[in-house]
Structure formats: structure tokens, C-alpha cells
Amino acid sequence: MQLRTMTETDIAAGMRLKELAGWNQTEADWRRFLRASRDGCFVADVDGTVCGSAATIVYGGRFAWVGMVLVDPEYRGRGIGKRLLERCIEHLDSAGVPCIKLDATPLGKPLYEKLGFVTEYELERWILKRALENLPKQMDSGEKMPAPLLDFVMKADGEAFGADRSAILRSVNQEEPRFTDGLWNAGGMEGYAFGRHGSFADHLGPWIAKDAATGQRILEQFLKQSSRGTVVTDCLQANPFAKNILQAQGFEYARPLTRMFRGQNKFPGRPELVCSILGPEFG
Ligand SMILES: CC(C)(COP(=O)(O)OP(=O)(O)OC[C@H]1O[C@@H](n2cnc3c(N)ncnc32)[C@H](O)[C@@H]1OP(=O)(O)O)[C@@H](O)C(=O)NCCC(=O)NCCS
């Protein structure tokens, strides 16, 4: 087994791995990683077949994210996941990144614990299934958020998330501007959201709101803009209102995720504002 840097030509293989795991990412998501981190995405190659992947991204030098940790089911339990993670850690340590974070599935969590990751908080994947004939008529998708307002949202996101991830959010906005939303008043930002058109579902996140009324308005707006029968979002278990709002719209709990970190978590952001994260792969 050879570990090597992932390139654009490996995206098809990455898509195969994520399909085997039933994940929702698209080629655009792999490209976001590769654009942000040319030498920080890795694949495990066995005789020319890509059987594992792991990707890293550094957010403003404050911390890094590890995502897309995938091993072909036929190759699991042979130490490939561990070697991929060790390669990511080595890469980030040598770049002097002080903290590494990730969102672990129950399958990934034991592996990360062995490598020194500890729990920050719990997340939950929620899923909505709607009959296509019942979908609201889509609103005009021509209205894009004006650049100065988008800048304002990016600044607010840096505070909520704990680091600057505006390059990723700008690419998400560019691809699906109809999902980008923001609510503010004279006192500042009340809430905002972005969304992605995944391979099987529209994905709401980040979904940020100061209070339940704002959270509800943002979720309703997202559901009006989405034309998919399936919608998913990864919400903070401790958020006092997000789950009630999701349930009221017909979402159901799907599975747990655990936010973990390794090193010193000096920039935790403001989790109390977060209804849902951008996604487990990006934070
Ligand atoms: C998680 C995943 C990447 C692990 O890959 P893998 O190649 O099977 O893992 P490894 O063989 O390197 O195992 C590494 C260590 O974790 C342990 N481990 C792995 N999976 C485990 C599990 N489900 N339960 C308990 N321990 C587990 C192994 O025993 C091993 O411990 P050791 O080094 O002490 O022997 C793989 O199961 C996978 O692709 N799952 C689906 C996608 C997913 O959930 N990815 C994680 C995203 S956060």
C-alpha cells in the first residue's frame, strides 16, 4: 500500500469511496479540498487502485480540519485508515498548525481517539423526506446576496466558527447562491445560512441563528429554495431550539457525529450561535 498526495485525477476514485459509504458530497467538494490544500490531501493506493482517502484544510492558521476519511469496505481493518490519519497529522504538525479538528462518525471515532483526539461536543444528522409534488414553488433564484453583505456574513462566520473559512463559503455561495441567506438589524447579524446541492440531498449548513424565530425563518427560506425531496443538516445537539424547529418541519433524527480536536482548542468560535455546521468534512 502506497500513500500519496491526491490530485484532480483521483476525484473519480474519491467519488467511488464516498458512494460506498453512502455520503452526499460531490466532485465540487473534493475540488474545494484540492484547491485549498494542494499538498494536504492523500489517497491510499494498492496496486493502482485507490482504496482510501483523507483530506486536510487549514483555516487561517488557527486550526485545521480533517475530512473525507474513507476506506473501501473491502480494505477496512488493515490499518489503512490509521496510516492515512497519521499522514494528515504529520503534514499538519510539520506545517506548525496548533490544533486539528474533525467531525467523527461512530466508525471513525475509535480510530481518532487512538490518535489523541478528544470530544468537543456532539452533533446530530437530521433528514427530511418530502414528496416532490408537495414542494413549494421555487422562489426567484436570480437574487444574489450583494458583495458587501456577503463580506458582512463572512466576518460573522469567522466569529461563530472560530476561524476564517470564507474561501470555502464563497465557493459554496458561487455554486448555489439561492441557498445563501442572511438576516440582520441595526444591532448586527441575527443569522445566516449557506447550502449545497449534494449527490442525493440538499444540505443546509452552516445554519446560524441568535434565536429561535431567526432560526425558523432561515430554515423555512431554505426549504422554499430547495427543489429536492431529501434535505439534510448536521445540528448541534446542545442547541436549545434547532431540533424543535427541524422536527416541526418534519425532519427526523438520522445518526450521531462527534466534534473532536487534537491539540489546544484555543478558537472554539461561538457554538451557542450554531444551529448546524457547514458539514462534517469542512467543519
Ligand atoms: C473509519 C474508517 C476510515 C476506518 O478505516 P480502517 O482502515 O478500517 O481503520 P484501521 O484498520 O486503520 O483501524 C485503525 C484503528 O482503529 C480501530 N478501529 C477501526 N474501526 C473501528 C471500529 N469500527 N470499532 C472499533 N475500533 C475500530 C482499529 O482496531 C485500529 O486499532 P489498532 O491500531 O489499535 O489496531 C472506515 O471504517 C470507513 O471508511 N468507514 C466509513 C466512513 C467513515 O465513517 N469514515 C470516518 C469519517 S469521520
DSSP calls for 84-122: HHHHHHHHHHHTT-SEEEEEE-TTTHHHHHHTT-EEEEE
> What spacing in Å lies between the alpha carbon of 119 and ligand 1's midpoint?
17
Residue 141 pLDDT level (bands cut at 50, 70, 90): low
Residue 279 pLDDT level (bands cut at 50, 70, 90): very high
Beta-strand ranges (E) seen in the chain are: 2-5, 41-46, 49-59, 63-71, 99-104, 118-129, 181-185, 188-197, 202-209, 230-236, 252-263, 274-276
Domain ranges of the chain: 2-97, 125-276
Mean pLDDT of 158-175: 98
2-97 and 125-276, same CATH topology? yes
Bridge partners for 184 per DSSP? 189
Residue 30 pLDDT level (bands cut at 50, 70, 90): very high
pLDDT given at position 201: 98
Average predicted confidence (pLDDT) for the chain:
96
> Which residue's CA is minimally distant from atom 19 of ligand 1?
111
Given a cut of 60, whether residue 231 has pLDDT beyond it is yes
Given a cut of 90, whether residue 134 has pLDDT beyond it is no
Mean pLDDT of 246-273: 98
Q: In the CATH scheme, what is the code of domain 125-276?
A: 3.40.630.90
Mean pLDDT of 27-50: 97
pLDDT given at position 22: 97
Which one of 72, 82, 84, 119 would you pick to mutate in the ligand 1 pocket, going by the greatest count of ligand atoms within 8 A of its CB?
82
Residue 38: CB within 6 Å of ligand 1? no
Cβ atoms < 10 Å from Cβ of 186: 4
**What CATH superfamily is the domain 2-97?**
Gcn5-related N-acetyltransferase (GNAT) (3.40.630.30)
**CA distances to 117, 138, 236 from 213, in Å:** 35, 22, 17
> What spacing in Å lies between the alpha carbon of 81 and ligand 1's midpoint?
6
Kindly compute the dihedral angle of the four CA atoms of residues 261, 263, 269, 270, in this order, to the nearest 10 degrees. Answer: 60
Number of the ligand 1 atom closest to the C-alpha atom of 70: 39
pLDDT given at position 140: 56
> Which residue's CA is minimally distant from atom 29 of ligand 1?
77
pLDDT given at position 139: 58
d(CA 211, CA 34) in angstroms, rounded, equals 36
